[in-house]
Amino acid sequence: MIRSMLYATDLGVYAPYVMQHALALARTFGAELYVIHVVEPMGQFAESLLQSYLDEQTLNQLQSQGVNTVMANIEKKVLDNFREELGEGQQDLALISAVRVRQGDPAQVILDQVRRLAVDLVIVGRHSHGVSADAPLGRTAARVLQLSSVPVYMVPLSQHRGRRQA
């Protein structure tokens, strides 16, 4: 029985399409739907650039307060995007129990949320940006699929892309 689900979004171009799958499943099963978006940590180059222009106290303050502010803004953006995408389907917004934005390795954060929330199903898109035809499965999707302790519902984005262009 599926009582709760986790939709992992990259906020990419196909995110609304994957979201429609997540909402349809939530309606069908009467399940709680949690949404997670993962922001990867700042790279070494950006970190060293900031270190060369900011003193340690300012850098620490920026990292603690700035990251929290950025995460809160992204959460708001995700919700605003959902409202915009759903248009007249605002009742579907009530299916979403929580939207979370976390920082870290995407696959690890998703799998951590699966455990913390004790969900019964994970919903992901097969890939988004930067994946060639030779590697049709994105790195995060592949790792979630391989390591998840619960079933993974994977939406095939390349088929959707073909229908859009037709």
pLDDT digits (tens, 9 = 90+) for 100-124: 989 899 999 999 999 999 999 999 9
Where do we find the tokens 């399409």?
Answer: 17
What SS3 class is residue 4? strand
Q: Is 65 a residue whose pLDDT tops 80?
A: no
Q: What is the dihedral of CA 85, 101, 118, 18, to 10 degrees?
A: 30
User: Is residue 162 very low, low, confident or very high in pLDDT (cuts 50, 70, 90)?
Assistant: very low
Angle formed by the axes of helices 67-86 and 15-29, nearest 10°? 70
Number of other residues whose CB lies within 10 A of the CB of residue 42: 14
SS3 106: helix
Query: In DSSP terms, which residues pair with 34 in a beta bridge?
Result: 6, 98
pLDDT (mean) for 72-97: 79
Residue 160 pLDDT: 47
- pTM to 2 decimals? 0.78
Domain boundaries, the chain: 1-8+30-99
CA–CA gap between residue 33 and residue 81 (Å, rounded): 16
Is pLDDT above 80 for 17? Answer: yes
Sign of CA dihedral 132, 110, 37, 24: positive
DSSP letters of 32-76?
A: EEEEEEEEPPPPHHHHHHHHHHS-HHHHHHIIIIIHHHHHHHHHH
